[in-house]
Amino acid sequence: MKVLVLGSGGREHAIVDALVRSALVDHVWAAPGNGGTAAIAENVAELAIEDGAAVAAWAAANSADLVVIGPEAPLCAGVADSVTAAGIKVFGPGAQGAALEGSKTFAKQLMARWDIPCGRGMSFTDEPAALAYVREHGAPVVVKADGLAAGKGVTVAMDVADAEAAVSECFSGRFGQAGATVLVEEYLSGPEVSLLAFTDGLEIAVLAPAQDHKRALDGDEGPNTGGMGVYSPVPIVTPELHAQMTGILRRTVAALKSEGIVYQGMLYGGFILTDEGPKVLEYNARFGDPETQVLLPLLETDLATVMMAVAERRLGSVDLVFSEDRAVSVVLASGGYPGDYETGKVISGIEAAELIPGVSVYHAGTAMNGDDEFVTAGGRVLNVTAVAPTFAEARDLAYEACGRIWFEGMQYRRDIGLRALAQEL
């Protein structure tokens, strides 16, 4: 079979890598792809991946058997609907289902209707009403732009002044239409965990839980980023907690189905483990990034088999098998990230890093220059992932690999997975 993967990040490189290794797959395209996907698949730089008609036409013209949609923007734009209408199999929900991520208000209202545990919240379309609500309820509180804001638009405000500033920032137009509606949400306390599930709209099949490190600096200091590292599984997730979170995802799919929305693809649940049990912080309508870079290396079942089962609504016929190993991934980022940074820096040492048994290097923001060298092309540049029987071994391998890679300005956290190591002991 031939597969078209939309996207250009580390998540997509990990997906492409798994599909290329599938015995079912003859050819993989990545649109637009990156330096890493170019080395193992065929990049399609010219395809407008948020244009559903263009994607469907290209897939039909090239006899693609399956289209895999990586990022949230094409999902929310309805690309899956266009591909399905063209008679081509697709992995990823249609626009109605993707609203779980595209509209935080939609997700919150769905959870309220179906009694899915989450923090209380109110949505506003005018600034004075939102500010009045913040002043009445006080802090701490969470302020969220309703729509897609490229990983931004969420503020955990520990005092009223910060909450007011966050509300005003949303309504200022900084996040465009995404900030036209603002959600003010109850602050919840506890560890955060991600649990992802394949679903065909009928059944779900969960992957191992994962825990991301969002802050830029060691010790969870510094500004929030798209993720500086991740590990899986998560030792603090007991079988009971895992069953509770799985049940919540199952109820979410059932709720969507009851409202006439068939959700097919990946459902990402961002959970917070409160004293009252797991509660949903957010949904994503696709694979997480960088969670994918530790989850897929632990998945032993053929990824193409699973994705086609999802697209054909027969997921119940597939058994997911996972490695008993541990996985740790460290993000190598450009100097200055998540603020301003320069690109075009030559990267060395990737091949040397991948000579280490158990290590994979996924490209998140790279390109090729005229001398066939990998160069930086984003804030998060590489995901250095190691798989080993214990977290201690996986961490050691990952950081040994990081030490073999260099580019000007390279920065990374040195404490990824330490939490897991302590919990495992």
Would you place residue 425 in the very low, low, confident or very high pLDDT band (cuts 50, 70, 90)?
low
In this predicted structure, the answer to whether residue 212 has a pLDDT above a threshold of 70 is yes
Which domains occur in the chain, in start order? 2-94 (3.40.50.20), 126-180 (3.30.1490.20), 192-424 (3.30.470.20)
* CB 408 within 8 Å of CB 375: no
pLDDT at 5: 98
- Range in 173-187, 264-278, 286-300, 339-353 with the lowest mean pLDDT: 173-187
**CB-based contacts of 279, cutoff 8 Å, min separation 6:** 117, 118, 119, 188, 271, 272
Q: Is 69 helix (H, G, I), strand (E, B) or coil?
A: strand
- Work out the average pLDDT over 343-367: 97
- Whole-angstrom distance, CA of residue 422 vs CA of residue 383: 23
In this predicted structure, the answer to whether residue 289 has a pLDDT above a threshold of 90 is yes
pLDDT at 150: 73
Q: What percent of the chain has pLDDT over 90?
A: 92
**CB-based contacts of 109, cutoff 8 Å, min separation 6:** none
DSSP letter (8 states) at residue 118: B
Give residue-wise pLDDT tens across range 52-87. Answer: 999 999 999 999 999 999 999 999 999 999 999 999
Would you place residue 247 in the very low, low, confident or very high pLDDT band (cuts 50, 70, 90)?
very high
How far out from the chain centre does Cα 323 lie? Answer: 21
N- to C-terminal Cα distance for the chain? 44
Give residue-wise pLDDT tens across range 105-155. Answer: 999 999 999 999 999 989 999 999 999 999 998 999 999 998 887 777 888
**CB-based contacts of 218, cutoff 8 Å, min separation 6:** 413, 414, 415
In this prediction the pTM is: 0.95
- The residue among 263, 394, 365 whose CA lies nearest residue 12 is 365
- Work out the average pLDDT over 286-306: 97
- Whole-angstrom distance, CA of residue 404 vs CA of residue 220: 25
- Whole-angstrom distance, CA of residue 281 vs CA of residue 269: 8
Would you place residue 341 in the very low, low, confident or very high pLDDT band (cuts 50, 70, 90)?
very high
- Work out the average pLDDT over 41-45: 97
Q: Which two tokens stand for residue 91?
A: 């992995």
Which stretches of 103-201 are DSSP H helices?
104-113, 127-137, 160-171
Would you place residue 365 in the very low, low, confident or very high pLDDT band (cuts 50, 70, 90)?
very high
Q: What percent of the chain has pLDDT over 70?
A: 100
Would you place residue 198 in the very low, low, confident or very high pLDDT band (cuts 50, 70, 90)?
very high
What is the average pLDDT value for the chain, to the nearest integer? 95
pLDDT at 153: 82
pLDDT at 41: 98
pLDDT at 32: 97
In degrees and rounded to multiples of 5, residue 50 shows phi and psi of -95, 0
Give residue-wise pLDDT tens across range 253-284. Answer: 999 999 999 999 999 999 999 999 999 999 99
- Whole-angstrom distance, CA of residue 170 vs CA of residue 149: 10
Would you place residue 243 in the very low, low, confident or very high pLDDT band (cuts 50, 70, 90)?
very high
| Exposure of 165 in the CB half-sphere (CA atoms within 13 A) | 8
- Whole-angstrom distance, CA of residue 121 vs CA of residue 342: 39
Helix (H) or strand (E) holding 61: helix 52-61
pLDDT at 370: 85
- The residue among 298, 302, 341 whose CA lies nearest residue 319 is 302
pLDDT at 240: 97
Q: How far apart, in Å, are the Cα atoms of 124 and each of 146, 159, 172?
A: 9, 20, 14
Q: How far apart, in Å, are the Cα atoms of 156 and each of 184, 186, 187, 290?
A: 10, 10, 8, 21
CB atoms within 10 A of CB 239: 7
* CB 409 within 8 Å of CB 343: no
- Range in 89-98, 155-164, 282-291, 325-334 with the lowest mean pLDDT: 155-164
DSSP letter (8 states) at residue 177: G
- Work out the average pLDDT over 360-373: 94
